Amino acid sequence: MSGRARCMSERLALQADFSECAAFAYWNGQIETGTHGQIATDTQLDLKEASLTGGRATASLCASVLSTRRETRMTPSDRQDYEALDDGSARGAISLRAATAIAAPTAATAGMAARARRVALAVPHVRVTRRTLQIVLGLFWLLDGGLQLQPFMLRSSFATGLLAPVGDGQPQFVAGPVHWAANLVAAHPVAWDVPFGLVQLALGLGMLIPRTARLALAASLPWAIGVWWLGEGLSGLASGNASLLSGAPGSVSLYALLALAAWPRRGRSDITPARWLPFAWATLWIGAAVYQLLPMNNTGADVSSALTANGSPSWLAGFQSSFAGWITQHGTLSVAVLVAAYVLIGLAVLSRRTIAVGAAAGLLLALAIWVIAQNFGALYTGQATDPNSTPLIAVMAVALLFGGYGAADAASARVRARVSEPRRELGSAA
């Protein structure tokens, strides 16, 4: 088509992992022969000679390779989005308008496109979708099902030693049903525990299979609520004696929360998790701060006893004991620091600019609590029914980090809305 250039390129995306921006350049289509414009020869950069870090090219390098130094035109809005992407810690895209001074293709142009394609294939793309959460939840349910079939669970001591104490000190609407369920299981432990384990295994397998994931998610909601009430006693929330250190708000309550976040939208699971997840995160952490200030949790002795309540392996016992002793001696400071950390972690995710910081800090603190206070969920003892709550909080943190909630992802969304414009602009220019 003499005198015209027709660009079939659909997208140009810049992706980045958490620590650094990475270039992702993808020409999907071809540029037909024409005489409209000219590609500057000084942009024929060889990616092999470029400064790469671990196979990743910087965002500015990608712009240099795919745009002309002489004819690239960025609007102020494009440049703002570009800077957000170059500064951000998530995936993003830059408008094709930054590289639409396109002209007759040459051999050098084709070479650049091929090299850019190879870089694109080399850049890892970490993305958490609803399907990702479904798979992770499925694995957790499989773990719970396996734990429920341990020899200890098949004896009456499971009901009398683990279930019944959960109702002690609770309001009657919690204690009554918990003690009733414990007595029922104690009378026929095998008859109850084996079906419990099989149900959880079925939920896990159902979530791992795409065709049955939706049904398994739906079935897991009432099951999780029932276990949370009858098996965990609402994790002590009704008594005011709950603490994030001791396992509040309860692992199965977080199973239900993540099941809702992973629920397919319009039949699709390959999209970002529920947009309300940051608000759920903020509620969890700010709620933890409120409970930490209640009379049964607000002294150094209370925090210390929560740290040591679940025990620890022998190799960690010395550190745990010393740390708990220090907290007892500096009670006011310890509680103040803990509450402040909870509040800041919760509030940070409400802003796109600080969501990565809040989620990363929450991830690290959750893992520390799991090791020091929750004894790795007591998984190695033969008496654990689940890995405890903080691994689920860690899953939430990873979803916030890589699920598309950050500032760079917002810029990406705005830019992708403009990516469809170049075809119309090129058509009108021709």
Each as own residue / partner, the long-range contacts of residues 184-191 (CB below 8 Å, 24 or more positions apart, any chain) are 184/159, 185/156, 185/158, 185/159, 186/156, 186/159, 186/160, 187/156, 189/153, 189/154, 189/155, 189/156, 189/158, 189/159, 190/154
Asked if residue 370 lies in contact with residue 377, where contact means CB atoms within 8 angstroms, the answer is: yes
Average pLDDT over residues 121-128: 62
- % of the chain at pLDDT higher than 70: 65
- State the pLDDT at residue 115: 55
For 371-383, write each residue's pLDDT tens digit: 999 999 999 999 9
The yes-or-no verdict on residue 53 having pLDDT over 80 is no
The C-alpha torsion from 379 through 380 and 385 to 388, rounded to 10°, is -20
Task: Tell me which of 123-127, 216-220, 408-412 is least confident.
Answer: 408-412
Average pLDDT over residues 162-167: 92
The yes-or-no verdict on residue 427 having pLDDT over 60 is no
The yes-or-no verdict on residue 16 having pLDDT over 60 is no
The yes-or-no verdict on residue 39 having pLDDT over 80 is no
The yes-or-no verdict on residue 81 having pLDDT over 80 is no
For 185-194, write each residue's pLDDT tens digit: 999 999 999 9
- State the pLDDT at residue 5: 39
The yes-or-no verdict on residue 266 having pLDDT over 50 is yes
- State the pLDDT at residue 408: 55
Q: What angle do CA 162, 165, 167 make, to 5 degrees?
A: 120
- State the pLDDT at residue 311: 87
The yes-or-no verdict on residue 411 having pLDDT over 60 is no
The yes-or-no verdict on residue 63 having pLDDT over 70 is no
Average pLDDT over residues 397-406: 92
Q: What angle do CA 12, 13, 14 make, to 5 degrees?
A: 130
Structure tokens at 370: 């799991």
For 310-348, write each residue's pLDDT tens digit: 888 989 999 999 999 999 999 999 999 999 999 999 999
Query: What is the band of 114 on the pLDDT scale with cuts at 50, 70, 90?
Result: low
Structure tokens at 139: 């694995």
DSSP 131: H
**Nearest in space to 336 (alpha carbons), one of 303, 377, 376, 378:** 303
Q: Distance (Å, rounded) from C-alpha 96 to C-alpha 66?
A: 10
Query: What is the band of 406 on the pLDDT scale with cuts at 50, 70, 90?
Result: confident
- State the pLDDT at residue 194: 96
Query: What is the band of 80 on the pLDDT scale with cuts at 50, 70, 90?
Result: low
Ordered strands of the 13-16 beta sheet: 21-24, 13-16, 92-93
- State the pLDDT at residue 75: 52
Average pLDDT over residues 31-49: 34
Structure tokens at 375: 């004894």
Asked if residue 189 lies in contact with residue 138, where contact means CB atoms within 8 angstroms, the answer is: no
